[in-house]
Structure 1
């Protein structure tokens, strides 16, 4: 019951999302409906469910990459509760800069920007001292087994696994209160998977609230405190006028 005493870092209330398929006559595809999710400081909740259930869509919605059709995403931001869906764009940028980190499944590589600069950028944008940023970036790249000879090169030339490790280092360079992880170990070998597990455990010990998708059962068992089952509606895609009948499941598996 340790987490019951922790503050609520992130809450999804009545979250509903559907996609409109404009190229197919405006058909609406329900993804999830009435999601209720609470994540507390120091807790790792794993989004669980079959492929296509909406796990990545939910994770991106929690980061405000996708805008749900209804509901609230309540974030503990610098001591105040902010509804991410009602926030102004500049507020979303500020919340992402200091409160919510996100490790996507794939690194968006930028030509001619070095690996060290890619990892350092979030911390520099937050205003951290340059010496501290450089030391943190080098430490993370070393832990994730990116050879020093690659630090001054653009990740566009790296292998998929190397790019993913650069992406992970970028996500962990700031001690975010909330961290969203989309399959961070998908392309990694056993040694690097274990390093990521260590990074997640260290973040939890700092009371970071984590929501993640982990298809690797061993990693999931090592870091997750709870599973949150995400299930797509049993109903087929329907025209927008009939969407009100669609249902989807978001249930805790404790």
Structure 2
């Protein structure tokens, strides 16, 4: 008979580990999401610039990060990149949490690649006259993208960006592979000590489930805010 005891993993140091893991998961997600979206705006602007060099760089960036598994990208940053950095840089990074820094960079770059494609689809859905009109008014390419094109593209891209946000949130669990104490890592540590496999992973699953539904709700609210008619269609 299955002997369930959730109290065994929801008190003492186990509870502290779960809380700390959940906190690290949320901080990592928020940091990677913000930096990923900002970088995605830069990448899509480069992709749409019409300049061969910028287009090639952005296309290569997207191609690499969309076709190489996220875990491999994390390993490259954590195990490979430090080998080519100056010793002073390595020492600084190690002193400030190398696990978090490198997984944040890896998730940021990966998220930016996918988000930039969603934004590019939004840009391509707009009439070319939007850019032409902005340039005719004297705006530079950068300002036209920032004030005219990208705000409209963002409105179109909210649903796929919400999906990418969900994917990014779940991808934070990959950080356990390099020892970052996020929620999945904490759950694994507790399971190894307590042998309460069902209880601890059930708690972790509920956390991810609740947070995922919260993200979907935020995405819907964001979509309605950008397009008020969407909420009544």
On whether the aligned pair clears a TM of 0.5, the verdict is no
Structure with greater strand percent: 1
Structure possessing the higher radius of gyration over alpha carbons = 2
Class of the TM-score when normalised by the shorter of the 2 chains: under 0.3
TM-score (norm. length: structure 1): 0.24
